[in-house]
Structure 1
Amino acid sequence: MITCYVKYVIDPYQVREFECYALKWIGIVEEMGGIHHGYFLPAEGANNIAYCLFSFDSLAQYEEYRVAISSRAECVELFNEANKKKFILSYERSFMKPLMSDK
């Protein structure tokens, strides 16, 4: 399993727009075979940082997902919306291997 960890710098005046965007991606990831662990929005502390975690069985499966979303109309529309409204200022994406309890 590989988990994609994304740290977003968002416009603190457009958190609601980011939340709507994020909710749509949760469903898309799950429809495409991933496990979405959720988005984590600002509550206390920094008001412009959000996080996202989602997993696929392998890096190859994640790469297939990335290719598929580049031509899926709903995804292209979401990318265009984020670029137009600019509620995402920047992001960092990392990949991690989860370590789970044996229990």
Structure 2
Amino acid sequence: MITCYLRYEVNPGKLAEFETYGRMWLELLPRFGGIHHGYFLPSEGASDVALAMFSFPSFAAYEQYRKDSAGDPDVQKAIAFATQTRCFIRYERSFFRPVFPKELEGGRG
């Protein structure tokens, strides 16, 4: 399993728009075989940082998602919404291999 960690620099005046954008992806990603772990919006601390995490069975499955989603009209709408609203300034993407307690490892690899 591979987990993608996204760290966004958000526009603090556009958190409602960023939340709308996040909710779009919460519905979109599973269509392409991913598991979304949610968006995490600023609460205490930095007011311009938001996080998101999602997983795919493998890096190859993630790459397939990137190919398959590129032409999807709903994905294009989400990208256009972010561009129009400028709800985030930039993002960083990192990949991790999760380690689970033994009782949760069944079927994960």
Q: What TM-score bracket applies, with the shorter chain setting the length?
A: over 0.9
* Corresponding letter in the other structure for 1:10: V
Where do 5+ consecutive residues of structure 1 fail to align? none
Identity %: 41
Which protein has the larger Cα radius of gyration, Structure 1 or Structure 2? Answer: 2
Q: Does 1:67 align with 2:67?
A: yes
Q: Does 1:49 align with 2:67?
A: no
Instruction: Provide the secondary structure at the position in 1 that maps to 2:45.
Output: coil
Instruction: Provide the secondary structure at the position in 1 that maps to 2:27.
Output: helix
Instruction: Provide the secondary structure at the position in 1 that maps to 2:64.
Output: helix
Give the alignment's Cα RMSD to 1 decimal.
0.8
Aligned residue-pair number? 103
For 2:69 and 2:11, locate their aligned partners in 1 and report how far apart those are by CA, in whole Å. Answer: 24
Conservation of the 8 A alpha-carbon contact between 2:32 and 2:69: no
* Equivalent residue, structure 1, for 2:40: 40
Q: Which runs of 4+ in 1 moved over 6 A?
A: none
* Equivalent residue, structure 2, for 1:78: 78
Could you tell me how far 1:80 is from its partner in structure 2? 1.4
Where do 5+ consecutive residues of structure 2 fail to align? 104-109
Could you tell me how far 1:48 is from its partner in structure 2? 0.7
